Amino acid sequence: LAKTTQPISMDSYEGQEVNITCSHNNIATNDYITWYQQFPSQGPRFIIQGYKTKVTNEVASLFIPADRKSSTLSLPRVSLSDTAVYYCLVGDTGSSASKIIFGSGTRLSIRP
């Protein structure tokens, strides 16, 4: 099982770009990298998913180096509403979601 390591917490200010890095040294060939966001007392919400290189959507960008042993979630121009816990998951969520491990995530705090 691919274990991930990410910072326990991060602080930033409104309008800044925030980058959260996740380490996954034993990622397997079929594994995807997926990030979720969770607000208090709510279920996690999908943010972005990638396999290699760079993926961008309306919310975030995901940068994956060639060796795929790490990934970086980039949130442009954060606002107070981006304060949440962010989880980095590695695995094939389609065929083996039961093997996906949710770590403790990164608690992101945005200040005015």
Partner 1 sequence: DGGITQSPKYLFRKEGQNVTLSCEQNLNHDAMYWYRQDPGQGLRLIYYSQIVNDFQKGDIAEGYSVSREKKESFPLTVTSAQKNPTAFYLCASSRVRQGGEKLFFGSGTQLSVL
State how far the alpha carbon of 28 is from the alpha carbons of 10, 69, 92, in Å.
Answer: 28, 10, 9
Residues from 82 through 111 that contact partner 1 (CB under 8 A): 87, 92-95, 97-98, 100-105
| Shortest distance, position 15 Cβ to partner 1, whole Å | 28
18/109 Cα distance (integer angstroms): 11
Which distant-in-sequence residues (6+ apart) come within 8 Å of 55 by Cβ? 48, 49, 61, 62, 64
User: Which range of residues in 43-51, 53-61, 64-72, 75-83 is near partner 1 by CB under 8 A?
Assistant: 43-51
Binding residues vs partner 1 (CB under 8 A): 30, 32, 34, 36, 41-46, 49, 51, 87, 92-95, 97-98, 100-105
